[in-house]
Homo-oligomer: A and B are copies of this chain.
């Protein structure tokens, strides 16, 4: 299966996409950031210290930007989207804190993980605090529909993480099963973040479903590209090390495809290294060579492109506008990160 080589102009659009979106949501994102800082305060100093370490560590705030941009796209003029955007970032941060404990990760966004600095115990508990705080903040908006969407997302995300744990060591995982995992653990929050932008705007003409679909497919594309990046030199751009997923025995799409396309000798390699966690020097290089042979990293990006197109088409119901254009270019950004 071939790879569509992006045109130079696509790449440039992609690089500018985040800047384009950021410019349109800048003043509201400043309010989101103020709100985040204010609401992570606590009489217990370890809480803002630990949460701040991660929240201030230069994440792109992609998810809260989705909420702000979606509300703008729907012509919203109130303030609830700021509160809900901060809520989404708190939920995301809580998930990252718990993920790093579960995965025993040492690095995140190019710096030591909170669990290395403050310990696993504090990371679990501060994650719980942020989740509780997120719910407090969303209750303040009094939007029962937003509460429904975000509480569903919270349960689905955790369900996806448990599912991932269950399939973690199974090299025979199907692409469908893997999609189910990432739809839950990653796409559910993208989807909720975008959808609640429509909810606060009281839209009536399919905008909510459109943004739910946009967010979901963008989230799937985003995760697939993350999976590909983990095996390329670009992983350092994520502040992680190349091959982290391999070393942790994580079955992601590049492996799922390689296992299905490989011969018995290759399958035994995947079984030994990932299923039995028996890795030797040089195994990562072998893994990369097998993936290269079956072009599974490029094809993972190609699969991402498919979901990206679905995300873009979901925006069709909205009239043209700068924010619509920025959300469309954001799809390019999520995918062209791979190059």
A→B interface (CB under 8 Å):
42-47, 95, 98, 101-102, 120-122, 124-129, 131-133, 135-136, 138-139, 142, 144, 147-148, 151-159, 161-163, 165-166
> Does A139 contact B128, Cβ atoms closer than 8 Å?
no
> Does A162 contact B102, Cβ atoms closer than 8 Å?
no
A129 cross-chain contacts in B, Cβ below 8 A = 155, 158-159, 162
> Does A159 contact B102, Cβ atoms closer than 8 Å?
no
Among B120, B128, B151, which residue has its beta carbon within 8 angstroms of that of A136? B151
Among B47, B128, B151, B152, which residue has its beta carbon within 8 angstroms of that of A98? B128
A121 cross-chain contacts in B, Cβ below 8 A = 101-102, 165
| Residue of B whose beta carbon sits closest to that of A118 | B165
A151 cross-chain contacts in B, Cβ below 8 A = 132, 135-136, 138-139
A220 CB to closest chain B CB, in angstroms? Answer: 18
> Does A126 contact B162, Cβ atoms closer than 8 Å?
yes
> What is the predominant secondary structure among interface residues of chain A facing chain B?
helix
A136 cross-chain contacts in B, Cβ below 8 A = 148, 151-152, 154-155
A95 CB to closest chain B CB, in angstroms? Answer: 8
With A124-B102, A165-B121 as contacts: A147 and B154 at CB distance below 8 Å: no
A133 cross-chain contacts in B, Cβ below 8 A = 155
A42 CB to closest chain B CB, in angstroms? Answer: 6
> Does A162 contact B132, Cβ atoms closer than 8 Å?
no
Q: What 9 pairs between A and B have smallest CB-CB spacing? A: A132-B154, A132-B155, A129-B158, A135-B151, A128-B158, A102-B121, A136-B151, A125-B161, A139-B147
A-B contact pairs, 24 of them (CB 8 A): A42-B162, A44-B163, A45-B166, A46-B166, A47-B159, A47-B162, A98-B125, A101-B120, A102-B124, A125-B158, A127-B128, A128-B154, A129-B155, A131-B131, A131-B158, A135-B135, A135-B147, A135-B151, A135-B154, A136-B148, A136-B151, A136-B154, A136-B155, A142-B144
A138 CB to closest chain B CB, in angstroms? Answer: 8
A157 cross-chain contacts in B, Cβ below 8 A = 128, 132
A189 CB to closest chain B CB, in angstroms? Answer: 11
With A101-B124, A121-B102, A159-B47 as contacts: A154 and B131 at CB distance below 8 Å: yes
A45 cross-chain contacts in B, Cβ below 8 A = 166
A91 CB to closest chain B CB, in angstroms? Answer: 9
With A98-B125, A125-B158, A158-B126 as contacts: A165 and B135 at CB distance below 8 Å: no
**Complex-state Cα separation, A157 to B98, whole angstroms:** 17
A165 cross-chain contacts in B, Cβ below 8 A = 46, 121-122, 125
